[in-house]
Amino acid sequence: MVGVLASGVRLAVPILLAALGEIFSERAGILNIGIEGEMLVGALAGFLGTFYTHHVGLGFLIGMGASGVFSLIMGFITITLKEDQVITGIILNILALGLTSFVYRALFGTSRTPPSIKPLTPLKIPALGDIPYLGTILFHQNPLVYLAFLLVPVSAWILFKTQFGLNLRAVGEHPRAADTLGVPVERMRYIAVMLGGIFSGLGGCFLTLAQLNRFTDNITAGRGFIAIAAVIFGKWNPYGVAVATLLFGIADGLQLRLQALGTRLPYQFLLMLPYLLTIVALIGIVGKSKPPAALAVPYQKDN
Amino acid sequence: MKKPVEKNAGKNRKVQEWRRERSLLFLYSPLLSFFLGILLAFLLSSLLISWVGASPLLAFKALILGAFGSLNGFTETLVKATPLMLTGLGLCVAFRSKVWNIGAEGQIHLGALATTLMGIYLPWFPSFISLPLTGLAGFFAGGLWAAIPGWLKIRWGVNEIITTLMMNYIAILGINYAVHVPLKEPGGFLPQSALIQPSVELPILVERTRLHAGILLGIAGAGALHILLARTTLGYQIQVVGLNPDAGRYSGIPVGKIILIAMVLSGGFAGLAGMGEIAGVHHRLLENFSPGYGYTAIVVALLAHLKPLAVILVSMLFAALIVGADTMQRVAGVPNSLVLIIESLIVLFVLGSRSLFHVRYPLLFVKDNEHKTTDGKLRIS
């Protein structure tokens, strides 16, 4: 059970990072379905960065940078050209899938022994790590795990306690009013989309640099979509989203364990859980918590 | 309302002039941006091709010859076009009513499941009875799967983008379970179902190829949907709901019912695509029988400007890319994932150039209320 929970926490991290990014994006009114693709780009770029520079830290930076740049495509088409966000997001996912697979194959071919990198090693936090059970679950993890969970209160603080966060939310709730008050709507949305890209890229990097040590086609396997689900489930609030991703992560860990044990219980149903829960949450939550009012609506300055 | 008449008259004249000028652009721009998109996508991907050390010209030659150069290649292109066409057609209906059905992939899976169940458990009938029954089963399995998010949308206002997306995964995992456990071929080793009975198989159109009758279903479906959307009251209502649901409601259109119908139709066609894959190609249910047809079909429907007849051509173009890319990989050593890049680049460039042609111009006189509908969102016609 301790093992399941510990792996659950670890499995939650990439989803959590992407979901935090998606909160910024959605709070500013951009429904970014392309984060799955942004994660993929981050995963590959982070891997390549580490592979060629032999430095995990640089790898992370390169991964985040690449997905940040990639997210600019989303920004340009939905914010500047005001095209539909859903379409653009889907297209970006397809583009990222093709691009990452193409680049990987072009660089490494189809070798039997896939190239791998030296991963980030777990870091035991001195005193806390010795607490029985809890220590293993929470304080014997990758440094990035701590960073991800630290980013939860930080994101909440940025969103709800700073002027920047207020402006960002205003842009997602009522862009016209924000514009009238002098908030640069388009610029805020660009920043939010970029933040989404950078966070997703970090989440993607986590997969290649901390979990699997290598890149495979479609390595994200729908985690970006689960992140979108987690955002809804967590009501566009970083804390809620953290809880939601932990639930998803633990379900995933449980599923892996069950698969390894070879139980008769079909693991596919456990895998379905996050998706089913999201639909149920959507039905139950409506009325109590609403998405940002201007979500997925392009802003058109009237003149 | 109380503005001086002369001022308005002057403005109207100006608007009319603009409109005349612009009508030329409206006429040409969908095709123009389409070809521009293809051109730019190929230009950009030739950079990628030279990067891997291949010659773009040779690679594109291999792509075209692979897709059209032989009977086998050409029929294979049609085989791949069939699910794209059927699914894309259904999506035209949903997208026209502005219901974002992203769940075609799952609906294809449900259609395939229903077809397999019919193929295994239906007592023997001659094909002319079995096949229509199976087609109906596939249609309604996909349609019902799509009706769920439709119903959630009209009953509780649940965002269909998210629900359809989530339901894709549920469907795919469900099929995965089905072929591993309850439907697994007795005594078989692989996770796949038993073969369906021959009376449920779609007839092969060209001997020694995989080309099956599903393509005829697609072409007939395109005609039917064209008539439905262009000529019938229901088609008109679907259009109105898409353009302005409030206006529709005031004029007495049962908006909820229309949304549900659009969802069922779009899911139904996706279900038919799933039926075609099982009854026409694989003859048994297996994992990953659809390499993302449901997602590619979204792109197909959009590039076809949600016009059923155009879907026929666009789906063939995309199928040709898929088939040709395999040849390109073999002959020129270019990874076949290039096709995904080309596909998405085409759409990105089309979106970009469309914005340049359509949105910029209405922007010049946004005060003219008529143009509020051309707000840069998906264009309907």
| Mean pLDDT score of chain B | 85
Interface test with A, best of B306, B337, B361 (most A CBs within 10 A): B337
The verdict on B355 touching A (C-beta cutoff 8 Å) is yes
pLDDT at B355: 65
Beta bridge partners of B334: none
| pLDDT at residue B377 greater than cutoff 50 | no
The C-alpha atoms of residue B210 and residue B71 are separated, in whole angstroms, by 11
Q: What is the mean pLDDT of residues B132-149?
A: 97
Say what the pTM is: 0.86
- Tell me the chain A residues in contact with residue B59 when contact means C-beta distances shorter than 8 Å: none
Query: Beta-strand (E) ranges in chain B?
Result: none
Q: What is the mean pLDDT of residues A8-37?
A: 94
- Tell me the chain A residues in contact with residue B375 when contact means C-beta distances shorter than 8 Å: 82, 298, 300
pLDDT at A285: 66
CB B52 within 8 A of CB B44: no
Q: Which of A44-48, A97-101, A292-296 has the lowest mean pLDDT?
A: A292-296
Q: Flag if B366 and A300 touch (Cβ within 8 Å).
A: yes
Could you tell me what percent of chain B has a pLDDT over 70?
A: 85
| pLDDT at residue B154 greater than cutoff 50 | yes
Nearest residue in A to B175, CA atom: A268
Give residues 148 to 167 of B whose Cβ lies within 8 Å of A: 152, 156-159, 161-163, 165-167
Strand, helix or coil at B107? helix
Tens of pLDDT, residue by residue over A36-66, are 999 999 999 999 999 999 888 899 999 999 9
ipTM for the predicted complex: 0.87
CB B178 within 8 A of CB B120: no
Of the candidates B158, B163, B359, which has its C-beta nearest A82's C-beta?
B359
pLDDT at A47: 94
Q: How many CB pairs under 8 A join A and B?
A: 145
Higher-confidence residue of B188 and A123: namely B188
| Length of chain A, in residues | 303
Q: Flag if B158 and A92 touch (Cβ within 8 Å).
A: no
CB A89 within 8 A of CB A31: yes
- Tell me the chain B residues in contact with residue A232 when contact means C-beta distances shorter than 8 Å: 162
The verdict on B376 touching A (C-beta cutoff 8 Å) is yes
| pLDDT at residue A276 greater than cutoff 60 | yes
Burial of B57 (0-12, 13-18, 19+ CB in 10 A): exposed
Q: Show Cβ contacts of residue A260 under 8 Å, excluding neighbours closer than 6 positions.
A: none
CB B92 within 8 A of CB B306: yes
Q: What is the dihedral of CA B328, B291, A223, B154, to 10 degrees?
A: 130
Q: What is the mean pLDDT of residues B253-259?
A: 92
Q: Flag if A94 and B348 touch (Cβ within 8 Å).
A: no
Q: Flag if A279 and B351 touch (Cβ within 8 Å).
A: no
| pLDDT at residue A114 greater than cutoff 60 | yes
Tens of pLDDT, residue by residue over A198-209, are 999 999 999 999
pLDDT at B370: 40
Q: Which two tokens stand for residue A99?
A: 């691009």
* Nearest Cα residue to B348 out of A40, A99, A41, A91: A91
Q: How far apart are the first and last CA of chain A?
A: 61
pLDDT at B379: 39
- Tell me the chain A residues in contact with residue B169 when contact means C-beta distances shorter than 8 Å: 222, 225, 271-272, 275
Q: What is the mean pLDDT of residues A103-123?
A: 78
Between β-strands A123-124 and A140-141, what pairing exists: parallel, antiparallel or unpaired?
A: antiparallel
CA dihedral sign of residues B256, B101, B235, B350: positive
Distance from CA of B337 to the nearest CA of A (A): 5
Alpha-helix runs per DSSP H in B157-232? 160-180, 214-231
Give residues 184 to 223 of B whose Cβ lies within 8 Å of A: none
pLDDT at B9: 56
Of the candidates A77, A93, A300, which has its C-beta nearest B348's C-beta?
A77
Give residues 321 to 350 of B whose Cβ lies within 8 Å of A: 335, 337-345, 347-348
Q: Flag if B169 and A222 touch (Cβ within 8 Å).
A: yes
